[in-house]
Chains A and B, each alone.
Chain A
Amino acid sequence: MSFHPQMAYDATFHKSSRRLEDEGPPFVYTEENRARFDEIVTRYPPDRRRSAVLPALYLAQYQQGYITANAIRHVAELLGISRADVEDVVSYYTMFYTKAVGTFVINVCRTLSCAVNGAERVTEELCAKLGVKPGQTDPSGTFTLMEVECLGACDRAPVIMVNDSWHENQSPETVARLLDDLKARGQAALTGCVHMVERKV
């Protein structure tokens, strides 16, 4: 029930209404991630270990691809806070995935400066090439397409972010090439694509 009888909530009313569906396999950090976690908590006062929840969740997400209830349990135990506290954070921040995503998550910026420079055409091309709508993963499980809000590189619009790598000044033609490159070379296609290289300044 919404606050106004004629304004019903739709399925995606507020981003923090996401629910965790997946218990997932048993989860503990790898030895390497555990060591990184132990280093990260030293950055905060000893009685404020909770501050490390975002970096701790990133470690879990990089290890497993997305955040499951078991990952939340592990992080909560290490930080000494409740699982509800951690889930509260996971459901709020959009960069934490609560469902399995493809090997490559393609985020297309859709906000004003990118939009007026053709971001919609870029999304259109990606949808056609992958056969998905924004928010979906292609049948092979390789690509997830997402639309995101301003990425903060409006001078190089339209911008897309593939996992953590940025690709700037995109057009339908360049994203089509990038997709082919990702299919052919995998992760290697993501290196060397930041600002200075692409703009050749």
Chain B
Amino acid sequence: MESVLIQHVREPNSFTLDFYLKHGGYDALKTALKKKPDEIVAMVEASGLRGRGGAGFPTGMKWKFVDKKTEPRYIVCNADESEPGTFKDHLLMERNPHLLIEGCAIGCYAIGAKVAYIYIRGEFFHVQQYLERAIDEAYAKGYLGKNVFGSGFDCDVYVHRGAGAYEAGEETALLESLEGKRAQPRNKPPFPAVAGLYNKPSAVNNVETLCNVPIIVSKGVEWYTSVGPEKNGGPKLYCVSGHVSKPGVFEASMKVTLRELIEGYAGGPREGRTIKAVIPGGSSVPILLPDQLDTQASFDGIARAGSMLGSAAIIVLDDTTCMVWLAENLLHFYRHESCGKCTPCREGTDWLHKILRRIERGEGQMRDLDLLASISANIAGKTLCAFGDAAVTPVQTTLKHFRHEYEAHIREGRCTLPADWRARQPVHAH
């Protein structure tokens, strides 16, 4: 498949407007403004574009649900990319920011919004500078602002910087944060399409999703659906990291398999090592085992294999990885990032982490394993957002596939697999 999203990112100055215009930039916006907004929504719906942030919800449907009777409406771009293992939006915004800006503008036109906010995570300060530079360039040329291309369409795009909260990636928590509050999720319904930012109809879309919109407009629905299997159309960015020789962001059709991504694009495991497990969609999804590598890396393909494509963050773990340590590492993350709103999650992640830490140090008991399972079951499905389910997944999936490693830790009273990349002495200030 020809690369369209990150085709030019390795070239110098790929982030400038001149470069973008040379490669057909803003033609899609021009085309879109000649159509009716409803036609754009219909096009996106027909393309089958599914949200690239994690849930895979059809974008066209999301836009169709936006209440067209209430003014003003908003596009909110979720650039909070913080799922462990995900770094695709980072690359897009740093090296191809105009594609996102064009996507925001077309999105605004389609749902009848005049303002788009790009909520970027606080740690991406350098990325924000590229993005704001690009926005200034677009304003200077009249691609943003009042009366874009003489069509009477006004569009403002602002970057809003977060301040370090994983939970802000959840769409309603993001809206809360954008309104100047703690990033904690809202009760749903109402969904953002009806009452989103400032209680007005809003569409919250991931960076990669919005970047796909100009491509649908310029290349057409037919081309777009022909890339990839049914209901999984369009180009997809995959982030491959962990124990691989050449980690990076790769663009492929969703016909690609996990094996092709890991062994082809990413150069396979390190010299002399074998793959032990693969997390196919960011830290919140169930582990797949080496015998499942021929799974198609599409939303539906990975779901059939019992996991989720999520944000397409593929983390590869080789035979030096202790799975109890892995669960402990990820629960340290979830414990820290729990927003504290729902009790099962706030309390439960802390308990899970404490128990995992003592097992990892060899101080655990066999009954702890049942306790882990029981606490997990009491968090999953009992919280306002999907964070609770995400947080218990590393525990449940490692217990399911690698229970023997937990038992070995408890029996031997130590980690049975000390890796050379671990610290010599525990350094973490827990």
Residues from chain A with Cβ under 8 Å of B179 in the complex? 48, 50-51
In the complex, how many angstroms separate the beta carbon of B183 from the nearest chain A beta carbon? 7
Minimum Cβ distance to chain B for residue A127 (Å)? 6
**Residue ID in chain B nearest A113 by CB atoms:** B241
Question: Residue A164 at the B interface, CB < 8 A?
Answer: yes
Contacts of A130-162 to chain B: CB distance below 8 A:
133-135, 147-157, 161
CA distance A85 to B161 in the complex (A): 18
B293 to chain A, nearest CB (A): 18
| B178 on the A face (CB < 8 A) | yes
A195: interface (CB < 8 Å):
yes
Chain A residues touching B, range: 35 or more
- Specify which chain B residues have a CB less than 8 angstroms from the CB of A113 in the assembled complex: 84-85, 241-242, 247, 315
If A113-B84, A124-B423, A152-B124 touch, whether A54 touches B161 (CB-CB below 8 Å) is: yes
The answer on a CB contact under 8 Å between A123 and B423 is: yes
Q: Is B163 an interface residue (CB 8 A)?
A: yes
Query: Complex: how many Å from CA A12 to CA B313?
Result: 30
Query: Taking each of B326, B332, B350, which has the highest tally of chain A beta carbons within 10 Å of its own beta carbon?
Result: B350
Contact B241 A121 (CB under 8 A): no
Contact with B along A101-123 (1 / 0, CB 8 A): 00000000011110111101101
Q: Is the CB of B158 within 8 A of A124?
A: no
Q: Is the CB of B423 within 8 A of A94?
A: no
- Which residues on B sit within 8 Å (CB–CB) of A116? 242-243, 317, 321, 419, 421
User: Do A112 and B126 have beta carbons less than 8 Å apart?
Assistant: no
A20 at the interface (CB under 8 A from B): no
Contact between chains at B429 and A51 (CB < 8 Å): no
Contact of A112 among B239, B330, B423 (CB under 8 A): B330
Distance in Å: Cβ of B284 to nearest Cβ of chain A = 12
Q: Mark B302-341, 1 if CB is under 8 A from A, else 0.
A: 0000000000010101000100001001101100111110
Structural contact, B350 and A54, CB atoms closer than 8 A = no
Within the complex, what minimum Cβ distance (angstroms) separates B330 from chain A? 6
User: Are A52 and B180 neighbours in the complex by a CB distance under 8 Å?
Assistant: yes
Find chain B residues with CB under 8 A from A147 CB: 428-429
Show 12 residue pairs from A and B whose CB-CB distance is below 8 angstroms, ordered by the A residue.
A43-B160, A55-B161, A94-B163, A95-B123, A111-B283, A111-B329, A113-B85, A154-B85, A155-B241, A155-B247, A157-B247, A194-B126
Q: Which 3 A-B pairs have the closest CB atoms?
A: A93-B163, A154-B241, A120-B423
